[in-house]
Chains A and B, each alone.
Chain A
Amino acid sequence: MTMIHIATITQAMGGGLKTFSNIPQNFAHLQIRMNNRDLYATTPSYTYMRFNGDMGNTANNHNVRGDGASVTASANQINANYVITVPQPANNALANVYGATIIDILDYSSTTKFKTARAISGYDLNGSGFVGLYSGMWRDTSAITSIGIGSAYQEDATFFRVDLYGIGISEQTGA
């Protein structure tokens, strides 16, 4: 089995950014699986991610998304201080609804590459919602040792569950 569970954050209620710390460096890739909802009644609402606590303007993010009525592609942030943003229901959205997100980060321990994250994310509220493909880049060649997750507006978030997995690779090439 090559997809190993590293850590989980469950039902966080406020208290600031939540962080996966001391991420092991013995995997090749990381995957985050998240079920998320905002603590605040801010629409639209987003969960964001930050690597190694870097709050400098060292990130970019883009997306292509639909809202049930239209499609949009945008450069969400250039020189941002967070790596990726994905949508989540606001606190005043339909009750008991959480978003679903999978984020993949390849070669997270590389010391020669900037780090690019790719996310599939969305939620539906029986009359509204978002779905899209989201990307983000951290312009730093450091290995990722921590990942902070929070609400884009208040740095607090209500998660139901956020799971971090490490993914290994084969030593065979098949060439």
Chain B
Amino acid sequence: MALVMTPIYTQTASGSASLITFNNIPQVYTDLKLVCSTRSAGAAVDIVLYVRLNGDTSSTNYSNTRLYGTGSAVASDRGSSLSYASSGTGNAANATASTYSNNEFYFPNYTSANFKSWIGDGVAENNATAAPQVLTANLWRNTNAISSITVGDFGGNNFANASTFSLYGIIRSGA
């Protein structure tokens, strides 16, 4: 039987961590999919969700291109030679209460010997005009297979209780 999507790991924040890391990712799938429902304790309406791979915090091997709307304006930007990728968006403490963002990051061919590319699409709703929707294309210039993924609040603020992170493995039929 061909599996479509298999849950690998799930973490639920308890309010005491600004980073969520999935370690020891099995190398048996074709692609990975990570969905995140987040709220940050940061004093802002919304924050950037960043992604790092394999614990790489010191290189400048990350870059990203973004298209985003703010609720009233649209823009596109890029970041190059960074120590993180700005892959998504999250609600923060000044957003409407009880509101959590909705993000998906998709990592195709995560075990390949190529540089690692992934896409992100995320929204952080708000009972106001201002609310971000982002589309991102991301790159980690490293040929190692992805064995861990870290998602963090750009400002180092803890994720609120009940923020959830769900990692899935996707395998092509017949593999």
Contacts and interface: CB of A to CB of B under 8 A. Distances in A.
Contacts of A28: 10, 164, 166
Q: Is the interface of B mostly helix, strand, loop or mixed?
A: strand
Interface residues of chain A: helix, strand, loop or mixed (majority): strand
A73 B73 contact: yes
B68 interface: yes
Interface stretch (B17-25, B48-56, B78-86): B17-25
B5 A133 contact: no
B71 A75 contact: yes
A2 B133 contact: no
Interface stretch (B57-65, B94-102, B109-117, B137-145): B94-102
Size category of the B interface is 35 or more
Contacts of B99: 113-114, 116, 137, 139
Contacts of B134: 133
Interface of B: 1, 3-11, 21-25, 35-37, 67-74, 96, 98-104, 121-131, 133-135, 162, 164, 166-168
13 contacts: A1-B3, A1-B5, A62-B71, A104-B35, A106-B35, A106-B102, A113-B37, A116-B125, A133-B121, A133-B134, A135-B124, A135-B133, A174-B9
